[in-house]
Amino acid sequence: MLARPRLALSRDVAQAAYRLLAAALLCAMLAMLSDVFLTTSNIFNVLRQTSLLFLMASGLTLVILTAGLDLSVGANIGLSACLAATAIKGADSPMLGVATGIGCGALIGLANGILVTALRIPSFIATYGVMWMLAGMTYYYMAGDTIHGFPPGFRQLGSGYLLGVPMPVYVMLVFLLIGTLFAQRTTWGQQIYAIGANPVAARLSGVPVERRLILVYTVSGAMAGLASLIVLARINSAQGDIGEDLTLPAIAAVLVGGTSLFGGYGTVAGTLIGALILTLVLNGMNLLQINSSWQPLVTGVIILLAVWIDNRTRRIGE
């Protein structure tokens, strides 16, 4: 129903090319500055971190495409990871843990969706409130404890390899495919773009706006739940503050990936490139032994730059 114009498609391709070029330049720079960058273990490290960031950011991309925002993804990872960890250890069942993690994430997303649609609370303030509630609940639940030592089968999800490539990379590629097909090739996906571009027009042309919004927040929550499992399997322990530092980078990845904060424009594939760029920056800072205290500062500046560039591009576009 909403065939995207050819012009927009070529703009997508050009923007993706610029961003890949930026990623390549970053790689070249880091390879020159650090001996460690091109080692297999570091490359795998970058890929794992990119996968994690992408999984969080892919769901968030859908939310931002509707001109919304989900600030609760990091706190969602915290609670989902801790509950999943309890299920794995308590019931000795990784499958139950996976279901708990994704289920908990999806429920949190559903709650966000209901707050934004039924109660009509602006998304950034609703998800900000939920973020603090989740953080409080997680700290209360864990009471400073750590849950660690998961069965090797479960740990494969985060630290295992298949054909010499880290497992999370496959998860990332699967969701890149699903996300892209969903957003570009299904009616629901196109409706999400339509809501972001012009909610009033979308409603008038028969798009069930509320139901689609609830869907994107639920998907964003479920993806955070899935990401929490990858973190859990990788670091082999769960703590209350596990997702705290992940919200800003996830938002940055979406925005650097070219998705407009004002909705209606962007792609899931762009977010993958954004996640890669952000991971390269943070990984490079680690390799160059820059104090990790710089990370929130740099991420904050990257977010501001990305939105500023988006603003300028949109103005030129108009």
Partner 1 sequence: MSMPSLAQLPMSVARVPGVAIVLVVLSAIFALTSPGFASPANIANILTQSTILLLLALPMTVIIMTEGLDLSMGAVLTFASIVLAITVLASGSPVLGFFAALAVGSCFGLANGLLIAVLDIPPFITTLGTLGVAQGLSLLATDGQSVVGIPRSIENIYSGALAGIPLPVIIAAIAYCGTHALLYHTRFGTYVFALGGNREALKMAGISVRGVLIRAYVLGGLMAGFAALLMTARLNSAHPTAGIGMEFDAIAAVAVGGTSFERGNGWLLGTLLGVVAVGVLRNGLNLLAVRSSAQVACIGALVIIALFIDGLRAEP
**Please, which residue, 156 or 295, has the CB nearer to partner 1?**
295
Rounded Cα gap, residues 194 and 200, in angstroms: 9
Site membership for partner 1, residue 186 (CB under 8 A): no
- Determine which residue in the list 139, 170, 182, 188 makes contact with partner 1, applying CB under 8 A: 139
- Determine which residue in the list 119, 200, 204, 316 makes contact with partner 1, applying CB under 8 A: 119
Q: How many residues does the chain have?
A: 318
**Please, which residue, 92 or 241, has the CB nearer to partner 1?**
241
Q: Fill in the amino acid letter for 96.
A: L
Site for partner 1 in 42-101 (CB under 8 A): 69, 71
Site membership for partner 1, residue 149 (CB under 8 A): no
Token pair for residue 115? 């707050």
For residue 41, what are the CA distances in angstroms to 37, 38, 81, 88, 114?
Answer: 9, 8, 25, 28, 43
x-or-dash pattern for partner 1, window 152-171, by CB under 8 A? --------------------
- Determine which residue in the list 261, 269, 273, 278 makes contact with partner 1, applying CB under 8 A: 261
Site membership for partner 1, residue 297 (CB under 8 A): yes
Site membership for partner 1, residue 285 (CB under 8 A): no
- Determine which residue in the list 40, 41, 289, 293 makes contact with partner 1, applying CB under 8 A: 293
Q: Residue 236: left if φ>0, alpha if ψ -120 to 50, beta else—which one? A: left
DSSP annotation of 4 reads P
**Please, which residue, 42 or 295, has the CB nearer to partner 1?**
295
Site membership for partner 1, residue 110 (CB under 8 A): no
For residue 99, what are the CA distances in angstroms to 8, 103, 297?
Answer: 39, 6, 35
Pairing of strands 237-238, 147-148: antiparallel
Q: Which distant-in-sequence residues (6+ apart) come within 8 Å of 38 by Cβ?
A: 31
Rounded Cα gap, residues 50 and 168, in angstroms: 9
Site membership for partner 1, residue 317 (CB under 8 A): no
- Determine which residue in the list 52, 202, 251, 269 makes contact with partner 1, applying CB under 8 A: 251
Site membership for partner 1, residue 215 (CB under 8 A): no
Rounded Cα gap, residues 250 and 163, in angstroms: 28
Rounded Cα gap, residues 3 and 97, in angstroms: 41
Greatest pairwise CA separation for the chain in angstroms: 58
- Residue count at the site for partner 1 (CB under 8 A)? 43
**Please, which residue, 190 or 220, has the CB nearer to partner 1?**
220
Q: Using CB under 8 A as the criterion, which residues of the chain lie in contact with partner 1 when the complex forms?
A: 69, 71, 115, 119-122, 124-126, 128-133, 135-140, 143, 240, 248, 251, 261-262, 291, 293-301, 303-304, 307-308, 311
